[in-house]
């Protein structure tokens, strides 16, 4: 499956490592992983958000890392995935369809 990741970035000093660990975990399970931390962070914020939305559009599943609900950007991504009727996985093992 193609899995896009979302999680808390602002105010989370370890976000790059957390996204990479999640990417590695999902990859080891056989998934193709779309990690927004791999987007060039020198782009303007609105471009990064636009690309992250496109990642969700192209994915089969959105994976919400712990703390995603505390991130305005992740909430937007989550709502977009729901609008697209994507399957949503949560780090705690639960799932929404």
pLDDT at 46: 87
Quote the pLDDT of residue 27. Answer: 97
Q: Which domain holds residue 82?
A: 2-96
Q: How far is CA 30 from CA 9, 26, 73, 74, 93, in A?
A: 25, 7, 27, 24, 17
Q: Give which of 81, 77, 13, 11 is closest to 49, Cα–Cα.
A: 77
pTM to 2 decimal places:
0.92
The reported pLDDT for the residue numbered 12 is: 76
Q: What is the pLDDT of residues 32-76, one digit of tens each?
A: 999 999 998 899 988 988 999 999 999 999 999 999 999 988 999
Report the relative pairing of strands 2-6 and 61-64 from DSSP bridges. parallel
Give me the number of domains the chain comprises. 1
Q: Alpha-carbon distance 22 to 25, whole Å?
A: 5
Share of the chain above pLDDT 90, in %: 79
Summary count for the chain: helices (H), strands (E) = 3, 5
State the CATH number of the domain containing residue 23.
3.40.50.450
């Amino acid at each position: 499956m193609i899995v896009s990741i979302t999680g808390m970035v602002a105010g989370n000093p370890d976000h790059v490592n957390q996204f990479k660990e999640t990417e590695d975990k999902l990859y080891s399970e056989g998934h193709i992983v779309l990690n927004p931390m791999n987007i060039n962070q020198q782009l303007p914020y609105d471009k990064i958000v636009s690309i992250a939305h496109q990642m969700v559009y192209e994915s089969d599943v959105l994976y919400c890392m712990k703390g995603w609900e505390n991130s305005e950007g992740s909430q937007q991504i989550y709502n977009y995935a729901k609008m697209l009727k994507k399957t949503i996985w949560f780090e705690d093992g639960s799932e929404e369809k």
